[in-house]
Amino acid sequence: MNTTNTMKAMVYHGANDLRFEDRPVPQIIHPSDAIIRLEKITICGTDLGIWKGKNPEIEETAKAKTGHFDGRILGHEGIGIVEEVGSSVKNFKKGDRVIISCVSRCGTCENCQKQLYSHCQNEGGWIMGYMIDGTHAEYVRTPFADTSLYLLPEGLNEDVAVFLSDVLPTAHEIGVQYGDVKPGDTIAIVGAGPIGMGCLLTSQFYSPSQIIAVDMDDNRLALAKELGATHTVNSAKEDAIQRILELTNGRGVDCAMEAVGIEATWDICQNVVKEGGNIANVGVHGKAVSFELNKLWIKNLTITTGLVNANTTGMLLKTCCSGKLPLEKLATHHFKFKDMVSAYEVFKHASDENALKVIIDF
């Protein structure tokens, strides 16, 4: 264990105020906790959103509870080594290498019993790097360790293992499962970033006949084609709505997945889904969008939103171990932890840097 009782961490202090600084090493608070020494982490688009001020409730909640806000360590994805476990932890021990789930779950509350783990009522759900300190540090405290960690299998590509914390289960559950993708369906994935690529890969479990990837970046669209998209549309160069309708003989798609979280991508989705279809909103929205219910009410649509429950992480872990998901292609940039500031800057300008996922190694 760290003998100095301090560690380096990326700490959010408010909108556009992110600092690489010394913080206390986390301690066991509850008997179900574990302390993990991080080995490999990544940055999520949600972390960028927090940095830009998209989630002011982080600061507001802290001030409401304690009267002040002294910063929040960001991050909710990573793999590492168990350093210490609380007295009630049974499934993990010191020295185990683990994948950290972005969602912590008690497993016993009403919502957990319904597998709605993202809304765990006992201080669980998505709290890491949000309501409690996260993984962008040398150590992290994981609540409910027995139900929120996964043993890291030997031989699994470790970059891929990091994606099992959040990106892959989010894409599969909130995009593909909520979008009710079925064999023969036509689908449009609007946004070919990490989440969109996860939707693209996991949708192929269900054999859709047509997968249309939409983005403004030709490099990402080329990779989407390589990973299984049947068609690509560059929305910066052509009318994406018109092109998708052309590709579907004027019918539109069975499922449109919004994988960015801005009005422009939402608007494409609500204009290309056909009657009886699904709009699966996966993107994190920080501003209101125009929801044309006056046009959509008559179409018998299913419109879903959601925060990942991580109830398919175990299945996805087995699939990744089989080598059937080429997720390592999403790991475009690698940094050392001491260069965390540079990693954030590259991910912030992902399009200019041709970056998808930025991996940070300790």
Residue-wise pLDDT tens digits, 202-248: 999 999 999 999 999 999 999 999 999 999 999 999 999 999 999 99
User: Where is the domain boundary, 289, 304, 319?
Assistant: 304
Tell whether 271 is covered by a domain: yes
Instruction: Please check whether residues 347 and 237 belong to one and the same domain.
Output: no
Least confidently predicted of 64-73, 127-136, 245-254: 64-73
Taking a C-beta distance cutoff of 8 angstroms, is the pair 210, 244 a contact?
no
Tell whether 97 is covered by a domain: yes
Tell whether 153 is covered by a domain: yes
Q: Residue 29: which residues within 8 A CB-CB, separation 6 or more?
A: 141
Instruction: Please check whether residues 29 and 122 belong to one and the same domain.
Output: yes
- pLDDT tens across 259-287, in order? 999 999 999 999 999 999 999 999 999 89
| Integer Cα distance of 1 and 137 in angstroms | 14
30 has pLDDT over 60: yes
- pLDDT tier at 293 (50, 70, 90 boundaries)? very high
Model pLDDT, residue 148: 97
**Strand (E) or helix (H) holding 353:** helix 350-353
**CATH at 294:** 3.40.50.720
- pLDDT tens across 174-204, in order? 999 999 999 999 999 999 999 999 999 999 9
Model pLDDT, residue 199: 98
| Integer Cα distance of 44 and 360 in angstroms | 12
Model pLDDT, residue 54: 87
Instruction: Please check whether residues 172 and 100 belong to one and the same domain.
Output: no
User: Where is the domain boundary, 272, 304, 336?
Assistant: 304
Instruction: Please check whether residues 191 and 71 belong to one and the same domain.
Output: no
Tell whether 1 is covered by a domain: no
Phi and psi, residue 215, nearest 5°: -165, 175
**Strand (E) or helix (H) holding 275:** strand 273-281
Instruction: Please check whether residues 264 and 215 belong to one and the same domain.
Output: yes
316 has pLDDT over 90: yes
Taking a C-beta distance cutoff of 8 angstroms, is the pair 106, 112 a contact?
yes
| Integer Cα distance of 347 and 354 in angstroms | 9
Q: What is the token pair recorded at 198?
A: 């996860």
CA contacts within 13 A on the Cβ side of 246: 9
- pLDDT tier at 82 (50, 70, 90 boundaries)? very high
Instruction: Please check whether residues 35 and 156 belong to one and the same domain.
Output: yes
**CATH at 120:** 3.90.180.10
Instruction: Please check whether residues 156 and 72 belong to one and the same domain.
Output: yes
**The whole model's pTM is what?**
0.95
Taking a C-beta distance cutoff of 8 angstroms, is the pair 132, 140 a contact?
no
Tell whether 107 is covered by a domain: yes
Instruction: Please check whether residues 86 and 215 belong to one and the same domain.
Output: no
Please name the residue that has the structure tokens 């008559």.
298
DSSP secondary structure string for all residues of 106-125? -S-SHHHHTT-GGG-TTT-B
Tell whether 353 is covered by a domain: yes
Q: Residue 302: which residues within 8 A CB-CB, separation 6 or more?
A: 180, 277, 278, 279
- pLDDT tier at 3 (50, 70, 90 boundaries)? low
Helix (H, G, I), strand (E, B) or coil at 150: strand
Taking a C-beta distance cutoff of 8 angstroms, is the pair 10, 19 a contact?
yes
Average pLDDT for 252-263: 97
Query: Nearest Cα to 226, choosing from 209, 213, 239, 217?
Result: 213
- How many CB atoms neighbour CB 110 within 10 A? 10
Based on the number of CB atoms within 10 Å of its own CB, is 344 exposed (0-12), middle (13-18) or buried (19 or more)?
A: buried
- pLDDT tier at 39 (50, 70, 90 boundaries)? very high
Model pLDDT, residue 286: 85
Q: Give me the domain span that covers residue 147.
A: 6-166+310-361
Instruction: Please check whether residues 148 and 33 belong to one and the same domain.
Output: yes
1 has pLDDT over 70: no
- The DSSP symbol for 155 reads T
Structurally, the chain folds into a number of domains equal to 2
Tell whether 191 is covered by a domain: yes
Instruction: Please check whether residues 40 and 65 belong to one and the same domain.
Output: yes
Instruction: Please check whether residues 216 and 320 belong to one and the same domain.
Output: no
Instruction: Please check whether residues 143 and 196 belong to one and the same domain.
Output: no
- pLDDT tier at 323 (50, 70, 90 boundaries)? confident
2 has pLDDT over 80: no
